[in-house]
Amino acid sequence: MAHWPAQRTPWLILATSATLLVFAALWFQHVQGLVPCVQCVYQRTAMMGVALLGWIGFTAPHLLGVRLIALLGWIGSAGAGLYSAHHHIYLQTRANPLFTSCSPFPDFPQWAPLHEWFPSLFAAGGLCTDIDWSFLGLSMPGWLRIIFAVYLVIAVSVVTIRLLRLRRL
């Protein structure tokens, strides 16, 4: 596991899995007609981050700088996605819908209004409290919480094992 960051195959698996999940989200939106909410958009953005950083890691895993950028970005994106999925589940299950709502527009930085530039990917119109889809008793953010947690555990494990191995040398 300590050697994974320097190999292309683990990066390919990460990038491919995250890319397929982004395509699945787009399929649910554009084919199945599920309208994403703001938290869905944030989770999609985080998954795109995992995918992009996986592809970056895949391109040149032999370069230390590329590996560091890809690993740190992977951890950041997976952490952001996990936080957003967890918050989304809170909104769906525990928050009072009369007093808790989500914005109809994502809060992207002014210098990068992705929801205006690419509305088919980043525009939101759904309600965060609605559960429009579930599988095996979990809503979509429930599954994404598991997926982001797995991504994060793997990334942190790889970094930890790598650092412990370097420390022994």
Q: Does 114 reside within a domain?
A: no
| Whether pLDDT at 134 is above 70 | yes
Domain containing 95 equals 4-99+122-168
Q: Does 26 reside within a domain?
A: yes
To the query of whether residue 40 is one of the catalytic residues in this protein, the response is yes
Q: Does 109 reside within a domain?
A: no
pTM of the full predicted structure? Answer: 0.88
Range scoring the smallest mean pLDDT among 9-18, 54-63, 123-132, 152-161: 123-132
Cα separation of 25 and 85, whole Å? Answer: 14
Looking at the structure of the chain, the number of domains it has is 1
Q: Does 132 reside within a domain?
A: yes
Mean pLDDT of the chain: 89
| Whether pLDDT at 97 is above 70 | no
pLDDT tens digits, residue range 37-88? 999 999 999 999 999 999 999 999 888 899 999 999 999 999 999 999 999 9
Q: Does 108 reside within a domain?
A: no
Return the SS3 of 135.
strand
To the query of whether residue 128 is one of the catalytic residues in this protein, the response is yes
| Whether pLDDT at 95 is above 70 | no
Q: Does 75 reside within a domain?
A: yes
Q: What is the CATH number of the domain that holds 18?
A: 1.20.1550.10
Q: Does 110 reside within a domain?
A: no
The active-site residue, picked from 37, 67, 145, 162, is 37
To the query of whether residue 44 is one of the catalytic residues in this protein, the response is yes
Contacts 24+ apart (CB under 8 A), 19-25: 19/51, 19/54, 19/55, 21/47, 21/51, 21/147, 22/47, 22/48, 22/51
The residue with greater pLDDT, 168 or 79, is 79
Give 120's pLDDT tier (boundaries 50, 70, 90). confident
Q: Does 149 reside within a domain?
A: yes
Cα separation of 123 and 88, whole Å? Answer: 17
To the query of whether residue 162 is one of the catalytic residues in this protein, the response is no
